[in-house]
Structure 1
């Protein structure tokens, strides 16, 4: 029997992040350290993604997330770097003194 992803059951951002870092080759321990969460939280996120996607393994979940368009080809590290850069830009904008109108 072939398992397929359930259409219309979107993954959360946290689940996608865990799968993306898994796809990049990080272990659950490394992902936990990188995200500042517990290993148990990482395992919960990947388990939830497996359930939603009806995947047999986490690797299978990565493939199904990609096939359903929920996981792109950019690496998780690339996305994290881009997100951090955006946050820094926003902080720079917010830290600028306000001009008098």
Structure 2
């Protein structure tokens, strides 16, 4: 299995059929068996027929010490807070810590 991630590459069309999925971009066409769309709130513009409701999530970035680094195998932490707000933390590069409402 191979995955391809393209950044800052505008998708102009998505075609699907019996032989798989073709993604048409300004830089070329890409074909595969399956497609994962990770476009955030832009997904409704990309796939207008898909019944998606956008939900706003609040995140904060913090510069942390080495305890939260990839080298120390820090994992994503979903936590149930006593106020019933779900808190999420995940490691990033260069000891950055991403915190948010899950």
TM superposition score category, shorter chain reference: under 0.3
Larger strand share, 1 or 2: 2
Identify, as 1 or 2, the structure richer in helix: 1
TM-score normalised by length of structure 1: 0.23
Give 1 or 2 for the bigger CA radius of gyration: 2
TM-score by length of 2: 0.23
Flag the structure with more relative contact order, 1 or 2, with Cα contacts below 8 A and sequence separation at least 6.
1
